[in-house]
Amino acid sequence: MVEKTRTPMGRPQERQAPWKDPAAQAYIRIEGVSKKFGDFTAVSGVELNIYRGEIFCLLGGSGCGKTTLLRMLAGFEAPTAGRIFIDGHDMAGVPPFKRPVNMMFQSYALFPHMTVEQNVAFGLKQEGTPKREIAARVAEMLALVKLDGFARRKPHQLSGGQRQRVALARSLIKRPKLLLLDEPLGALDKRLREHTQFELVNIQERLGVTFVVVTHDQEEAMTLATRIGVMNHGRIVQVGTPHEIYEFPSSRFTAEFIGNVNMFEGRVSEDEPGHVLIDSADLGGRIHVGHGISAAPDAVVWVAVRPEKMVLSREVPRERFNAASGTIREVAYMGDVSIYLVQLDSGKTVRVTQPNTHRHSDRAFTWDDCVWVSWHESSAVVVTE
Q: How far apart are CA 294 and CA 347, in angstroms?
A: 29
Give the shortest CB-178-to-other proteins separation in angstroms: 12
Kindly state the DSSP code that residue 378 receives in the 8-state scheme.
Answer: T
Work out whether 111 is an interface residue with other proteins (CB under 8 A). Answer: yes
Work out whether 250 is an interface residue with other proteins (CB under 8 A). Answer: no
Angle between helices 160-172 and 131-144 (to 10 degrees): 130
Work out whether 175 is an interface residue with other proteins (CB under 8 A). Answer: no
Q: Which of 7, 32, 47, 76 binds other proteins (CB under 8 A)?
A: 76
CB of 18 or CB of 75, closer to other proteins = 75
In sequence order, the 6+-apart residues with CB closer than 8 A to the CB of 370 are: 314, 325, 326, 327
Q: How far apart are CA 230 and CA 239, in angstroms?
A: 6
Work out whether 109 is an interface residue with other proteins (CB under 8 A). Answer: yes
Work out whether 107 is an interface residue with other proteins (CB under 8 A). Answer: yes
Work out whether 40 is an interface residue with other proteins (CB under 8 A). Answer: no
Work out whether 101 is an interface residue with other proteins (CB under 8 A). Answer: yes
Biggest CA pair distance of the chain: 77
CB of 139 or CB of 151, closer to other proteins = 151
Give the shortest CB-180-to-other proteins separation in angstroms: 9
Output the CA angle 346-320-255, nearest 5 degrees. 60
Give the shortest CB-21-to-other proteins separation in angstroms: 31
Residues 122-151 that bind other proteins (CB under 8 A): 122-123, 126-127
Q: Which of 34, 44, 49, 102 binds other proteins (CB under 8 A)?
A: 102
Work out whether 96 is an interface residue with other proteins (CB under 8 A). Answer: yes
Give the shortest CB-38-to-other proteins separation in angstroms: 13
Q: How far apart are CA 286 and CA 298, in angstroms?
A: 14
The DSSP code sequence of 85-99 is EETTEE-TT--GGGS
